[in-house]
Structure 1
Amino acid sequence: MNCEWKQTVDKLYCALALDRKIVGIKLLKNSVEFERADAIQLKGPINYCQMVAAAVHGNPIKAKNENFSCRSGARVLGIDPTDQFNSQGEKWAQLGMYKNETVAREVRSGLTYSEEKQYGVLISPIEQMEDFPDVVQIIANPYNCMRIVQGYAYHYGMPKSINMIGNQAICLECTGRPYVVKDMNISLLCIGTRHRAGWRDDEMAVGIPGEQIACVADGLINTINLMENDQKKKAIEEKLKEKSIPFQMRYHYNYYMDC
């Protein structure tokens, strides 16, 4: 495993209190990359968000066009760039998701789909990956998502590309958009993935491009003393020691107690 990548993985798991695996997503350009990917190859079609759900439970998945039951995932990722039925939001207008065709068309035109043609995708727990993926995805409660934003802000300042509609959450909001715009995005998830993938009502998601995840992990570590209470610091300190990550923990010290 790439040394910098391993350090990033360790920092993320130490700084956050998660009950699901963090997921890495790697877009595969051709059949050679697809065959080399060390993961379970699906035999039938399922939704992309169900693939991510498999990965958060420790199961690496690889999929190509015919493995996508929900076509939104394949279109968003550039695996199937055609969009014959909803290129102008017409399907959403017919379903009544928006007030009228004008609103539906405006929503569709503002979405970020990958224009790069991809052969397939690898979705895996990050600790099973050898190097930085294209996108890192974290499903967590609001507290942990808050900490991720704080870690991001430590290096990058205010998030500049947050964009959400409560639809196409896992594929668009937390994979496609971070991959294309090269910036973090947050999702409140969508009704489809909550039912299909079984996310809890108190969970949301963050998608972070591979180019940013090392700095986000570093920012998480560097904001522990200011942000966390003593109980959380104790748990984090034990995990940091297990991973031999040096860090000077300061107890009875944080910004909301005037340091």
Structure 2
Amino acid sequence: MKESFIDELENNQYFSKMIKSDLNLKSNPVAIKFILHKEDIPKNIDKIQEKIRHCEMVQKAARGDVFYSTSEEQLCKGGFSAIGLEKIPDKIASGEFYHGLGRFKSLGAAKRTLDSIPKIDLDSYAIIYSPLTKADFLPDVVVIITNPVQAMKVSQALVYTVGGRVEADFSGIQSVCADAVASPFINKRPNITFGCSGSRKFADIKDDEVIIGLNGENLGCTVNALNNI
């Protein structure tokens, strides 16, 4: 098992180095891992000691921190329900919460949007957040904070091998949670999102940045393609 950890760490260090070099990224790609049971949390990873939003946790990992979080440390209820830590609260599921914020003209519009947002049905105990270069595990999802030119290069890499189109799926709410993590995990394909008001306000996502979520199982193919374009 120890050798497996070493192999994964070496792979992730290589992938991270290539992604940062090919895209000229300033921050780290972030590895996300879902943990179903408490006893499966690695002994070398500590719980985060503050209560913040999922998008802020992604940003902390992009800046170098490694930690895990349960639902107790997740400040945003929409976020933790989208990534499978808790069931979605009734007021969010009904659309009432976002309608009350003035984000939708009608409750029906809010409800239709919330119904279509990806939600992971795992009931996980915890989620690990780590810079990809420090991750000694196979990530379920890798999140990259990029500018539009870097996102263009990733899009080119995604169609390099088999062609086709890159389809972005978002609605301007629950972006770093539902769009960048839940969607790639559920659909097994990448997603690009423009962020949301919460992530730009609380997680310091810049005006000129977008977020990409990649399925961890296919990360090697994306990296190889980036090296070839």
Q: Return the TM-score normalized by structure 1.
A: 0.81
Asked if the contact 1:23–1:137 (Cα under 8 Å) also holds between the matched residues in 2, the reply is yes
RMSD: 1.6
| Equivalent of residue 121 in structure 2, options 95, 115, 118 | 115
Structure 2 CA distance, aligned partners of 1:201 and 1:160?
Answer: 22
Residue 91 of structure 1: CA displacement? 1.5
Q: 1:58-207 alignment to 2 at 5 Å? A: 58-159=64-165, 161-207=167-213
Distance 2:72 2:59 in 1: 19
The equivalent residue for 1:9 is: 16
Decide whether the 8 Å contact of 1:155 with 1:216 is kept in 2: no
Structure 2 distance, partners of 1:156, 1:81, is 37
1:228 is aligned to none
Change (3 A) 1:156 1:168: farther
SS in 1 for 2:92: coil
How has the CA–CA distance of structure 1 residues 165 and 22 changed in structure 2, closer, same or farther, with 3 Å as cutoff? Answer: same
1:126-167 Cα shifts (integer Å, max 9, x gaps): 000123200000001111111011111112433454211111
Q: 1:211 to 1:101 in 2, by over 3 A?
A: same
- What is the TM-score with the length of structure 2 in the denominator? 0.91
Structure 2: which 5+ residue stretches go unaligned? 1-5
For residues 72-128 of structure 1, give each alpha carbon's deviation from its aligned partner in whole angstroms, at most 9, with x where no partner exists: 221011110242212122221222211211211111111110011201100110000
- Tell me the residue number matched to 1:215: 221
The one of 29, 36, 47 aligned to 1:22? 29
Question: Greater relative contact order: 1 or 2 (C-alpha under 8 angstroms, separation 6 or more)?
Answer: 2
Supply the distance in 1 between the matched residues of 2:167 and 2:150 (Cα, whole angstroms).
19
Which structure would you say has the larger Rg? 1
Number of aligned residues:
222
**Structure 2 vs 1, CA of residues 194 and 123 (structure 1 numbering), >3 Å: closer, same or farther?**
same
Aligned-partner SS, 2:124: coil
Whole-angstrom CA distance in 2 between matches of 1:29 and 1:138: 24
Q: 1:115 to 1:161 in 2, by over 3 A?
A: farther
Would the alpha carbon gap of residues 207 and 118 (structure 1) be closer, same or farther in structure 2, given more than 3 Å must change?
same
TM-superposed CA distance for 1:53, in Å, is: 1.1
CA deviation map 1:206-238 (0-9, x unaligned): 000112211111111111xxxxxxxxxxxxxxx
C-alpha contact 1:27 1:122 (8 A) present in aligned 2:
yes
1:43 counterpart (44, 49, 52): 49
CA distance change for structure 1 residues 179 and 127 in 2, over 3 Å: closer, same or farther? same
Contact persistence 2:12–2:133 (CA under 8 A): no
SS for the counterpart of 2:130 is strand
Does the 8 A contact of 2:159 with 2:166 survive in 1?
A: no
- Unpaired stretches in structure 1, ≥5 consecutive residues: 224-259
Secondary structure of residue in 2 paired with 1:19 = coil
SS at match of 1:14: helix
C-alpha distance 49-156 of structure 1, shift in aligned 2 (>3 A): farther
